[in-house]
Structure 1
């Protein structure tokens, strides 16, 4: 248990993690809750608003939004002209600056170092967040010995690593699950898996994601009756099944209510020719 508690600290120390200040600002009559990415002579603010990344700058008391509108299929790149005007006292080349958090951060830091020789650049390339979850559910375990397509109960744990800045739509998940016996289903197995998640819907309160199971290590025990009586057949296997599924996280309290439909398709597994139904419900805490 002590090692488990130290695991999040290890990952946080491995990468750079910075906590953002978040305040309300009024821009053109609209109030936004914005995160401070860079603070200095030119301050960079941002947030995801209505499922869209929005970027703002603050110089003295004036806040300006950085825009890149699209007209007839072509981006106008208005943000570049805005940056040129804001940094006219200390010119910085804007030609290769993209309207992304890393690109704007680099540009604003360059200007601030010219405008204030005491300015200290802070790196916020990643803001790692780790989450620990528990779940339970049922599965017909189509890739195991289950000729009658019996549904069996399961339970498990997962440890998720995600990033709230650059790669906020992506996550790596280490998962442990144990499937129990059921009537006419004499197989029990424990499985350790590495999963990748892509959150194609991502808001402050809700994430809907596609999940790919990259590899699994499975320990199984089958109770089999034969002429000599009941026999336990044990097996260990390492696979790369590429199981594909869907899931959802809904913010609730200090964590997330989770729902998953797992292994809808498993090209790397032999199945019993039944449609896979593997459903889980759980809760995960932010560490």
Structure 2
């Protein structure tokens, strides 16, 4: 069963969503295969080209590329001037647009809705989702771990964001901890997490992760002293729901149609007893934009 679970997790980790339709568009004499991300009077087109996210704006029959050139470490934000010209008849807050797919999509949807009240993609609530997997190690300091053994962990993240609040995200995480030959402990945990991206750039984010609730099922061997001075090993399995205050720090780096993500988990656990060891809970993974 554990091998099957591990296989499913790895399969999800390396599965790419290829269902998004692409069409051919010619821009300045070059033909591109592009995805339609937002559609209306102003249409947002994009794709990953030469390992770079490229964005295009289509109004009528005219298609222009949205650019944000880096000159000596300073981004020029040419895309804002392009959009200002294309939407001159009805400005909808160009100054706050970030050069990311989610922020551009929110702007395009907002503009299309403001110019046509019958458009179905009203921008009052625009949810963006990401799905990914991760692998890592943990020394499980919030349970008994006599030899401070590092165990392998793997799991799945589902991230939910609202486009108008790009610094905030909710994450549902499944995390499986696998037992070691010298440490008969394993666990399955489903947790709810909040992430605040206190540094948010075009290509990377740095965030605080707060785990505020979790259900954990633990399986372990417990040594029991007998009356004849021998020790018996008793297998134990139990589940528990906890309201938590565990804090970690993470880093997302834009790569392809998603993000390479690193997380240092559960550095601080409020209200939880630890075993006195220094926390070491590190995961590395990749999440796709859905």
Q: TM-score, normalised by structure 2?
A: 0.56
Give the Cα separation in 2 of the matches to 1:33 and 1:165: 25
- The structure 2 residue matched to 1:278, chosen from 258, 281, 288, is 281
Q: How does 1:61-210 map to 2 (within 5 A)?
A: 61-65=61-65, 78=81, 79-84=83-88, 92-94=89-91, 96=93, 99=97, 100-111=104-115, 121-123=119-121, 126=126, 131=131, 138-154=137-153, 157-158=155-156, 160-162=158-160, 170=169, 172-180=171-179, 182-183=181-182, 185=183, 187-196=185-194
Residues 115-141 of structure 1 show CA distances to partners (whole Å, capped at 9, x for unaligned) of xxxxx52317547657475x6654321
Give the Cα separation in 1 of the matches to 2:262 and 2:161: 21
Root-mean-square deviation over aligned CA pairs: 5.3
- Pick the structure with greater CA Rg: 1
Change (3 A) 1:180 1:209: farther
Asked whether the equivalents of residues 68 and 75 of structure 1 are also in contact (C-alpha less than 8 Å), the reply is yes
Change (3 A) 1:73 1:21: closer
The answer for unaligned runs of 5 or more in structure 1 is 1-18, 85-91, 114-119
The answer for unaligned runs of 5 or more in structure 2 is 1-18, 98-103
Instruction: Give, in angstroms, the shift of residue 284 of structure 1.
Output: 8.4
Find the residue that maps to 2:87 and give its secondary structure.
helix
Give the Cα separation in 1 of the matches to 2:185 and 2:25: 58
Change (3 A) 1:32 1:264: farther
Q: Residue in 1 aligned with 2:23?
A: 23
Give the Cα separation in 2 of the matches to 1:277 and 1:123: 44
Instruction: Give, in angstroms, the shift of residue 223 of structure 1.
Output: 0.4
Give the Cα separation in 1 of the matches to 2:76 and 2:289: 41
Asked whether the equivalents of residues 175 and 193 of structure 1 are also in contact (C-alpha less than 8 Å), the reply is yes
Range with greater deviation from structure 2 (23-32 or 255-264):
255-264
Instruction: Give, in angstroms, the shift of residue 163 of structure 1.
Output: 6.4
Q: TM-score, normalised by structure 1?
A: 0.56
